[in-house]
Amino acid sequence: MTMNRRTLTSAMAAAAVAGLLPASVLAQKKLVLGFAQVGAESEWRTANTESIKSAAKDAGIELKFSDAQQKQENQIKAIRSYIAQKVDVIAFSPVVESGWDTVLREAKAAKIPVVLTDRAVNSKDDTLYVTFMGSDFVEEGRKAGRWLVEKMKDQKGDVNIVELQGTVGSAPAIDRKKGFEEIIKADPKFKIIRSQTGDFTRAKGKEVMEAFLKAEGKKINVLFAHNDDMAIGAIQAIEEAGLKPAKDITIISIDGVKGAFEAMIAGKLNVTVECSPLLGPQLMNAVKDIKAGKTLPKRIVTEEGIFPMEVAAKEFPSRKY
């Protein structure tokens, strides 16, 4: 007979009943976590996946991992399969905010606790998940806005901004836009003249920036990109159009991945707002706490900073993602 986890567990249970194994051995059976990841769209996401996989290993938690390729239906399928497999805890990073109630109710009915990591859902029923751990995206947008307002404080004329939004309907795209607009609206000289999604990828960031440049050309003073990958794609488009990134067009992005630090060191990106993908250890602690019956706060916020190009070379060696 081949020993899969279930046969092994039932063999152990039989041994315990027969008095051959102490009950404490049974209590130590490996926790199983089902994680439904968004995809592999960005450097941030790669670092996030790596953090989750290595933290699970370190914590001795069995990880079932799936990649939804940025499609909600794939994430829903993965969550349903984790319910069917009766995992101990389900965690996921919801690609978009809405449309989760049905599947979350199914998890609740199966008594499987759910942890949201990185991105939030906009469900009205917050009993459908235990906790949401991740960044404050509105605050990240505000940090980007505050940096720009300070940088342009002596500028007299209009400041024409183009915006590369993240995935339509995703929490980081909605919230980063909101936080940024909240700050820049204090001065009418700041004008968002174009805003479109680049789906958080380099390829789309480049493509959309090309279209912005075609339509607006030298009118563009600032690019606000909702993540570093789109900014890096856009930098290529700007150079191909014969302009100087970070000089002719001021570029602000979010995440703080290594690629952004390299771009800053090369003098092509002005600033990145930090958004940490290293959520793995925190998630594994939460899984253990939930199974130990502890109550977790409904919201666990990641602490983060902001890095302008002037500090990039000094900070680069200590960056972990």
List of residues contacting ligand GYE (CB under 6 A): 41-42, 44-45, 118-119, 172, 200, 227, 229, 254-255, 275
The distance of closest approach from Cβ of residue 38 to ligand GYE in the complex, given in angstroms and rounded to an integer, is 7
CA distance 265 to 222: 19
Which residues in 66-83 are b (16+ Cβ under 10 Å) and which e? bbbebebebbbebbeebb
How would you label 196-213 residue by residue, b for 16+ Cβ within 10 Å and e otherwise? bbbbbbbebbbbbbbebb
**Distance in Å, CB of 309 to ligand GYE, minimum:** 19
Rank residues 42 and 75 by Cβ distance to ligand GYE and give the closer one: 42
Q: Supply the minimum distance, in Å, between the C-beta of residue 75 and ligand GYE.
A: 13
Q: Give the span between the Cα atoms of 83 and 297, in whole angstroms.
A: 24
Q: Nearer Cβ to ligand GYE, position 42 or 165?
A: 42
Which three-class secondary structure state does DSSP give residue 58? helix
Closer CB to ligand GYE, 118 or 163, in the complex: 118
Q: Least CB distance from residue 20 to ligand GYE, whole Å?
A: 48
Which pair of structure tokens corresponds to residue 217?
């050309």
Task: Count the Cβ atoms, other than its own, within 10 Å of residue 62.
Answer: 15
Residue placing its CB nearer to ligand GYE in the complex, 88 or 274: 274
Q: Which is nearer to ligand GYE, 172 or 245 (CB)?
A: 172
Q: In terms of CB distance, is 264 or 275 closer to ligand GYE? A: 275
Q: How far apart are CA 105 and CA 210, in angstroms?
A: 43
Cβ-based nearer residue to ligand GYE, 31 or 280: 280
Q: Rounded to 10 degrees, what is the CA torsion of 120, 122, 291, 7?
A: -90
CB 119, min distance to ligand GYE, A: 5
Contact between 200 and 41 (Cβ < 8 Å): yes
CB of 184 to ligand GYE, least distance (A): 20
Taking the complex as a whole, the smallest distance from the CB of residue 118 to ligand GYE amounts, in Å, to 5
88 versus 199: smaller Cβ distance to ligand GYE: 199
The token pair that represents 48 in the structure block: 């996030």
* 58 within 8 A of 283, measured Cβ to Cβ: no
Q: Between the CA atoms of 103, 36, 99 and 291, what dihedral angle is there, to the nearest 10 degrees?
A: 50
Identify the sign of the CA torsion 99, 102, 107, 113.
positive
Q: Which is nearer to ligand GYE, 41 or 97 (CB)?
A: 41
Q: Which of 87, 85, 135 is nearest to 113 (CA)?
A: 87
Q: Please choose, from the candidates 105, 191, 184, the residue with its C-alpha nearest in 3D space to the C-alpha of residue 142.
A: 184
Smallest separation, CB 185 to ligand GYE (Å): 23
- C-beta of 144: minimal distance to ligand GYE in Å? 12
